[in-house]
Amino acid sequence: MANIQQVAKLAGVSVATVSRVLNGQRTVSAKTRFKVEQAIEKLNYEPSMLGRNLRNSESRMLLILIPAITNPFYSEVIKGIEHIAISSNYNILLCETDSSPERENIYFDLVRTKMADGIISMDPAVNTETLKVLAKKHAIIQCSEYTPDSGIPYVTIDNEKASYQAVKHLIQLGHKSVAIINSDEKYLYARQRMMGYKRAIMEHGLELNDSYIIHTQQLGFEHGQQAMRKLLNLKERPTAVFTVSDLLAIGALKEINSQGLLVPNDIAVAGFDKIDFSNMTNPTLTTVAQPMYKMGTIAAEMLIAKIKGQEVEDVILDHELVIRQSTLG
């Protein structure tokens, strides 16, 4: 594989000139540029990013930290990130942490060792302390889940409000016993969504019932099923369930169905995220739409700005309650 020296030699110019042509500087005369281009063509030369990156001290890689690649919410955000990345000449280093600290550390090393120019963390289970330390010397953005007052810029939505609205919707349909399937409250979004749930319950003069509050370890169909099973085993089962993720909701739906009950007649269900699947269930799922793609694009833009040394502001995006069959019938 040819290198810049050989191109320079063949073109009869210096490496500096070749580099100038490569980088589109206009201080090169037309004839010289032509000669160089000819040489590049003839040698089938492609500049090595290894050399360039070392010299420029950048990798042009963006590290994306997600807990699980199989959750469509993340896939959709990644699509957005990739769109911006590619148009800014960055590439995406996809890292699935499985919420494991060791894995996470391996990935953090990528930025420490200059293999990545910055990080978009979407992992709620991320080690905040490490992240904060890292953020002092490296460009880091949090997306969806964030750490208040950490100084790490973030994009997210108003989880409390979104949750409040979803639960309010259920209550306004006449439901008096509304359950929530939440994830672990060590995560901020889980706490925020719980607050929204409680606020809706209180404001409408309903009673908080601890047995209507279920926590799951992770966001997955099976966890939704299990949680729903618990709810269905109650003497007084709820007539509506709000889940903190569509995956959970779909699992819940499944469980309700397999016990011979009907959604929404016997139990209404609302989810969160508006992943594509949520429109394919039977009945279709009422859910809080998160602007996933947009969240991705904004996170990427913020990160790239940060890498360039610019200051960036936190962003809170709009969500929207999408009412479908699972609460209306």
Partner DNA sequence: TTAGTTTATGTAACGGATTACATTTCTTTA
Partner DNA sequence: TAAAGAAATGTAATCCGTTACATAAACTAA
Place of tokens 């953020």: 135
Contact of 271 with 311, CB cutoff 8 Å: no
Q: Which of 38, 41, 56, 91 binds DNA (CB under 7 A)?
A: 56
CB-CB neighbours of 328 under 10 Å: 13
- Binding mask 38-77 toward its own copies (x if CB under 8 A, else -) reads --------xxxxxx-xx--x-x-x-------xx-x--xx-
Nearest to 210 by CA among 184, 240, 234, 246: 234
DSSP labels, 167-198: HHHHHHTT-S-EEEEEE-TTSHHHHHHHHHHH
Q: Which of 16, 86, 234, 328 binds its own copies (CB under 8 A)?
A: 86
**Distance (Å, rounded) from C-alpha 8 to C-alpha 20?**
11
Number of residues in contact with its own copies, rule: CB under 8 A? 49
User: Of 159 and 281, which CB lies nearer to its own copies in the complex structure?
Assistant: 281
Place of tokens 């099923």: 225
Could you tell me how far CA 51 lies from the centroid of its own chain? 32
Contact of 78 with 136, CB cutoff 8 Å: no
- Residue 314 sits at φ, ψ, to 5 deg, of -65, 150
**Distance (Å, rounded) from C-alpha 142 to C-alpha 210?**
32
**Distance (Å, rounded) from C-alpha 320 to C-alpha 104?**
32
Among the listed ranges 28-36, 154-162, 180-188, 256-264, the one in contact with DNA (CB under 7 A) is 28-36
Cβ neighbours for 230, distance < 8 A, ≥ 6 positions apart:
214
Per CB under 8 A, does 115 bind its own copies?
A: yes
Task: Give me Rg for the CA atoms of the chain.
Answer: 25
Contact of 198 with 179, CB cutoff 8 Å: no
Per CB under 7 A, does 15 bind DNA?
A: yes
The entry of its own copies, DNA, none near residue 70 (CB within 5 to 8 angstroms by kind) is its own copies
- Minimum Å gap between C-beta 233 and its own copies is 20
Chain residues 242-261 in contact with its own copies, contact rule CB under 8 A: 250-251, 253-254, 257
Q: Which of 14, 87, 130, 258 binds DNA (CB under 7 A)?
A: 14
The entry of its own copies, DNA, none near residue 253 (CB within 5 to 8 angstroms by kind) is its own copies
Among the listed ranges 15-23, 105-113, 151-159, 176-184, the one in contact with its own copies (CB under 8 A) is 105-113
Residues that bind its own copies (CB under 8 A): 1, 46-51, 53-54, 57, 59, 61, 69-70, 72, 75-76, 78-79, 82, 86, 91-96, 103, 106, 109-110, 112-115, 137, 220-221, 250-251, 253-254, 257, 276-277, 279-282
Residues that bind DNA (CB under 7 A): 1, 3-5, 12-17, 19-20, 22-23, 26-29, 31-33, 45-48, 50-52, 54-57
